[in-house]
Each structure stands twice: as structure tokens, then as C-alpha cells.
A and B are shown apart, each in its own frame.
Chain A
Amino acid sequence: MSLSEEELRGLKPDKTVDARGTSCPGPLLAAKRAIADVPINGILEVLSSDPGTKRDLPLWAKKVGHEFLGTLEEPGYFRVFVRRKR
């Protein structure tokens, strides 16, 4: 279940990974690496400027068993929030 924009803006991520310099599938690999540093039920924020990421990261979260919380669009990049579930 995706959170509202206001709720997303209020989140305090346990870790933020900046993958804005990379192209698809770089942000996916960055997310996979970074989630290991987030405690279970903690929040990972991924910054990406690759348009593929917007749909890739929610699918990734579902596939590997985490919870996709939502995406905020900023000028030129996305902020994607995922809660670690396992």
C-alpha cells in the first residue's frame, strides 16, 4: 500500500542511497546492496534519475519480499521508499 505524498515526505529513512549517477539497472543493484544495512522494518530511500527505476524498484521490492512505500518525484530524479521486511 503506497503512502500519501505528505506521509512520504515525513519519513525518516534509516539509509539513503544515491544512485542518480547510474543507469538502469544500477539503481536496482544499489538498492539490493543498501537494503542489507537497513534494520528489519527500517526504511531505505533510493535516489534515482533513471526513468526505468520508477516501476523497477516497486517490482524489485515485491519480488525480494520488502514493502514498497511510494515514490516522490523531484526535479530530475525520483525518491523511492522501501521498508525492509526480512
Chain B
Amino acid sequence: MTDKMCITVATGSVDRLTGMAVLVSAAAAMDVEVEIFLQLWGVYAFKKDVINKNMNLIEFKELGPQVVEGMKRANIPPWFEMLKQAKEVGKVKIYACSAASKIWDVKLEDLEMVDEVMGAGEWLDKMKEAKINLFI
């Protein structure tokens, strides 16, 4: 097994995506290779017309403004900025589920930071090779 982290992202919720971006950044700094597979809401959240407008929270929705304020105070960039930085310094690949891409009727150029469209079989093969596997 290689020093790799695979994250299956089924959520489009900003709180979850932020947690994911923190781990991806740490992995990029620690020379751990990262591969990310976007499913339904994950693909939606990476759409160019959605990525920086998305304010959807899965938990404690009423605390949204407090979260935004707290992140500003702690100088934590938005999740997609963190992910961009991680892609710059480390080995981070992002794939969009081919079925989900059909659901949203999107092509690679409609998505931000996504490297390839991929099927579930190939993704399973990648997960088998990774030491760390996460599903969010």
C-alpha cells in the first residue's frame, strides 16, 4: 500500500467540505498523496457556478453566520481556496463520478479543480491501494 489518502465526497455541505480541505492540506504538506472522488452533491459543490456561492450547512444551520465569522477570525480560507493551495504544494487529484456528472449534465470544463471524470470501478481500485480511506 502506498502512502495515499482516498476521500469519497458524497456531500456538498460546506462544513464537511471544510473538514475535508483541512485534512487534504495537511496530507499535501506531509507528502501524502491524495485522491478525491466526487459523488452526487460533491460534484454539484465543485460546479463553477456553485463553488463560491454555496452556503449549505448540514449541521447547526442556524449557526452559519457564527461559523463564517469564526473562520474569518481564525484566518481560515474557504474550503475551495484551501484545496487550491493543497493542489499547488502536494499531489492532489480530484475525480468526478461519471454517473453524477450525467445527473448534473456537466463536463470537466464546468467543474472547478476536477482532473478527470471516473467510474466507480476505477475508484474502487484506487481505494484498494490507499492506506487511508474516508467517506464524507
Residues of A within 8 A of B (CB): 21-26, 28-29, 31-33, 56, 59-60, 63-64
Residues of B within 8 A of A (CB): 22, 25-26, 28-31, 74-76, 85-86, 89-90
**Given known contacts A22-B75, A23-B76, is B31 in contact with A29 (CB within 8 Å)?**
no
Interface of B is mostly: helix
Closest to A28 in B: B29
Count A-B contacts at CB 8 Å.
37
Q: Which residues on B sit within 8 Å (CB–CB) of A59?
A: 30
The 27 sampled A-B contact pairs (Cβ below 8 Å) are A22-B75, A23-B74, A24-B26, A25-B22, A25-B25, A25-B26, A25-B29, A26-B25, A26-B75, A28-B25, A28-B26, A28-B29, A29-B25, A29-B28, A29-B29, A29-B85, A29-B86, A29-B89, A32-B28, A32-B89, A32-B90, A33-B89, A56-B26, A60-B30, A63-B30, A63-B31, A64-B30
